[in-house]
A and B are shown apart, each in its own frame.
Chain A
Amino acid sequence: MDGSDYSWAAKAGDVFHSYYEIPFYHLIVELALVLFIIKILMSKSTGSPGDETPLTEKEMQKLIAEWTPEPLVPAGAADTEPPVPVITSKVGKYVTVNGKECLNLATMNFLGMIGKEEIEDAAVASVQKYGVGSCGPRGFYGTIDVHLLLEEKLAKYMECEEAIIYSYGFATVASAIPAYSKRGDIIFCDKEVCYAIQKGILASRSTVFYYNHNDLDHLVELLEKQAVEDRKNPKKARVTNRFLVTEGLFVNTGQITNLPRLIELKQKYKFRIFLDESYSFGVLGECGRGLTEYYNVDRRNVDMIVGSMEFSLGSVGGFACGSSFVIRHQRLAGQGYVFSASLPPLHASMVIKAMDYFDKDLFSKLINNCKIAHEALEAIDTITVTADPLSPMKHIRLIENNSEEALREICNLARDNNLAITVASYTSTEIFKKEPSIRLTVNTELTEEEICSSVKLIEEVIHQYTSPSQDISEDS
């Protein structure tokens, strides 16, 4: 039959035959195209036009000779070095600064742990048992039994599964954040967070959104914005971790975070909360457990709490606590934990001892003192006070002509009158510039009279500082 005769061979023959029917010019055009493509493939890729001819050795030497670097640091820095007050005693309730014994309202020894003899005894016993240094990171024979005891004690006190201790307060939160948050993850953060958090976020290389200080409506706005982005790219959103990092008690403003609202938002927007309680641990809450106790919220809602052992505990170091699921990861990924020598055992022993002094009376005394100081300071009409009444740190600023020099001068005058206060120090690299202030601290050792007389002294000193200049201006 015709149909079956028309076999595959015949079909192939037809295709082959059809080439003869292509016009000749068509072939030439195709050939030219092929040659052109080959030429493109063979030619070297040229970069930007400037790189065409490589530099000769001579030209390079000339460029190198021409290059003059900036000095390593600005010249003459040593000549303009501001004098720093020097301590020559213990830094307890009283402190000797530049040879003058002062009442101490400057250091953050909130609970008066520094100078307690029993704690010193613990330190001495520790030195006589373990020596001073631990001579290694935790992984390499730098784990001493007191480290483990302290971790257990902290975890128990904070009613958490696990705690981890670091050898430096600053390094704690700065290491903890990049252990979890990586490039591509998103961090929401308060604008007024302490410098250690800022550095931790920078080290994590995550995307960061700063919301206005304590303005959770602004936070919601940012979260909504992100939620819209996430809906556009749900695949990416499924693997992008979101974190909220904030301080319990802000060292830069003395304000308290609205934790219950944050926890409400947490479930809605699915972010994990890292709470830095460096300044609120041992301060807020009935038993000093910090913000979670102050608001009476389930501690498990906060994924990680970071605390410091340098302020209310009067030692050195920091800790992080939370569920084992979260905290254990830092034993391999917390840079300041893995790569640094461990905490000197004497400081661990001191904290273990200091925690025995934690009791309700102590914390209520502190809060009471904070309130007294706040009230007294608010009564002065030449200054503004920024802080929560419950905060042991009060930021004082002059209403008129507030400047760092002026505040420093006021501190010096106060020191001449046997009162140690200090200006809060910042570097020029803060992300959001800080208004200079005197950071006054309150501790449990102070009596009501001492607080009131100190505040009165501050008022007098400010008057003394401001009035002569007024006299001059009146004269002129």
Chain B
Amino acid sequence: MPPAGVQTPAERMVVEPVLDDQKPKQKTVHVSEPEEFEQAPLLIALVAYLNLALLVVFGYIRDFMRMFGYECTVGAKEWGNEGFPPLYHEFESFYHRNVYHRGSKLTAAPLAGVPGAEIDIIDREWGDASLSSFKLSDKKRRYLNVGSYNYLGFAQNEGYCSHQTVKEIRGNGCGLASPRKELGTHEIHRQLETLVAQFVGKESALVFGMGFATNSLNLPALVDEGCLLISDSLNHSCIILGARLSGAKIAVFKHNDVEDLERVLKRHIVMGQTRTRRPWRKILICVEGLYSMEGTLCNLPAIVELKKKYKAYLFIDEAHSIGAMGERGRGVSEHFGVDTADIDIMMGTFSKSFGACGGYIASSKDTIAHLKRESHAHTYASPMSPPVARQIIASMSLIRDSEDGKKRLRQLADNVTYFRNELRKRGYIIYGDSHSPVIPVILFTLANICAFAKECLNRGLATVIVAFPATTMLGARARFCVSASHTREHIDRVLTILEELDPMINLKMSANRPGSAFLDFWRHFFTRPKVPTRAVDEAS
């Protein structure tokens, strides 16, 4: 049963939405920072390529030995389809069998509880040397978690949000079993939609049960044949999928490169549609607010300017930035002080900052009405379940109205600033905006990130490692996601562990690290110049 006496002020705010009168007196507006993507020193780059080449060579040797049964087989055999064409492409299965498989102990660790600041990971008992199956053991260990997207610390099993959710389960159940357009629109969806529209600062909003599907199933309702969709080169796969499903022509511009975006816009408007040479019906620019692999923020002020100049429409995916960026958690538009009226479609997800799941699209009344008619997710897919919607309403109203929410935002911002400054000062190569809670530490080589993850786990630190194909060949990285639930001690512990590991794995690779004379000597020979920072329009 839900404990009695749950605070109600925030709830009241939801039922009777108040006008946004809580804007801070002095608005802090940030300008887009020039980006630095420091490249690998030459020596490291060589080692990284050698590393890959070795993996491939050893892969072939092992495959050769497998042919004669001297090496354990990885993966199962197909049953009963003799004479069929092979289901998988040769290279793909080679990569899985010989490269990816080596890291399988380091990924997808099963959690035994809340994905909060500290997590319990259950030990896995691996079936055999091929690591193809495992059992959960009884043992679990406690880790410090810097891997979950729990920016504001709403991944909680107690407190206001949790109580509200439990109440909702008792009140409205957990399933609807009918699409929104048929008999799946619950009162709570409307409540949530009103709140979201108000929170992000648009006329109207629509919520969906899955963040990934929000992009991939709504973009086709916005653009189709004869339209142009201009996408950032590092956009998330759901945007790419949505673009592909829409049938619109897709053009790509270099990640966050406003000049390239302008070139693409200009060229396409002038040239018209590819084959028919007719003018485009409409052009939609798709960018993300905060890129989850790079930690970069889109250069929103400049993109809005371009969008106006070239009469394009702007779609911004705030999956990671909503809640996490801006003084009041309203995302990148607030961070840069951009008027939300200038952004045509604002999309975001609830699975990160709000500790729930699902996504929203906020836009003008007309757009939302159109989506209600044509959105694939609205028409065919199941709606967001009531407890999830309640969790979002509870956490969003806490961010908006309560002192607790403000404290979380402040804590997150403090943690980000402290952690980023410390990392930079100590000579790690990190990417991204200085306000971004996603902090990739670039380690360049596959062997390095695997060793890094393993050693971190040994020291009680749960991190995320990413490598090819999710990044470039040389872009292997460890990624930290800072949360408001982290304390200063947590962050210090992460830093201590990194310091411990540096001599072992060579983590500090920045050209401007404080180093020994010996290192300085080598740096002269093996450091490539930094990529020239792009001239970014600093005028806001």
Q: Which residues does A use to contact B, with CB under 8 Å?
A: 55, 60, 63-64, 67-78, 80-81, 84-92, 95, 97, 104, 106-109, 113-115, 119-120, 123-124, 127-136, 138-145, 147-148, 161, 167-171, 180, 182, 194-196, 199, 202-203, 205, 237-242, 270, 272, 300-301, 303, 310-311, 314-316, 323-326, 328-329, 331-332, 335-336, 339-341, 343-344, 346-347, 350, 420, 422-429, 439
Contacts and interface: CB of A to CB of B under 8 A. Distances in A.
Shortest 8 CB-CB distances between A and B: which pairs? A341-B351, A73-B370, A340-B212, A170-B381, A168-B210, A90-B173, A425-B181, A107-B178
Nearest to A205: B244
A78 to B, nearest CB: 4
Interface string B80-109: 110111111100000010001000000111
Contacts of B355: 131-133, 135
A134 B241 CA distance: 23
Nearest to A428: B374
A408 to B, nearest CB: 11
Contact of B220 (A132, A147, A323, A429): A429
Nearest to B462: A141
A72 B282 contact: yes
Nearest to A144: B111
B17 interface: no
Given A133-B357, A272-B81, A347-B385, A325 B75 contact: yes
B379 interface: yes
Contact of A141 (B111, B174, B368): B111
Given A88-B186, A131-B156, A170-B381, A67 B464 contact: no
Contacts of A205: 244
Contacts, number: 370
Given A170-B381, A196-B380, A300-B80, A72 B222 contact: yes
A429 B374 contact: yes
19 contacts: A69-B312, A72-B282, A72-B313, A78-B368, A86-B190, A87-B184, A109-B175, A131-B114, A131-B115, A135-B115, A141-B119, A171-B213, A270-B83, A272-B84, A326-B78, A339-B212, A341-B349, A343-B357, A425-B181
B269 A128 contact: no
B112 A145 contact: yes
Interface stretch (B163-171, B402-410, B486-494, B506-514): B163-171
A77 B363 CA distance: 13
A74 B173 contact: no
B114 A130 contact: yes
Contact of B175 (A69, A84, A113, A238): A113
A336 B148 contact: no
A415 B206 CA distance: 25
Interface size class of B (residues with CB under 8 A): 35 or more
B170 A239 contact: no
A134 B349 CA distance: 13
Nearest to A240: B85
A299 to B, nearest CB: 10
B155 A131 contact: yes
Contacts of A123: 169, 174, 387
A304 to B, nearest CB: 10
Contacts of A316: 174-175, 209, 382, 385
Nearest to B83: A270
A142 B511 CA distance: 35
B48 interface: no
Contacts of B156: 131
B114 to A, nearest CB: 5
A272 to B, nearest CB: 7
A88 B464 contact: no
A107 B183 CA distance: 7
A108 B177 contact: yes
B381 A168 contact: yes
Contacts of A72: 222, 282, 284, 313, 344-345, 367
Interface string B140-165: 00000101111000111110011001
Interface in B368-395: 368-377, 379-382, 385, 387-388, 391
Contacts of B49: none
Contacts of A238: 85
Contacts of A84: 180-181, 185, 372
B187 interface: yes
A329 B176 CA distance: 31
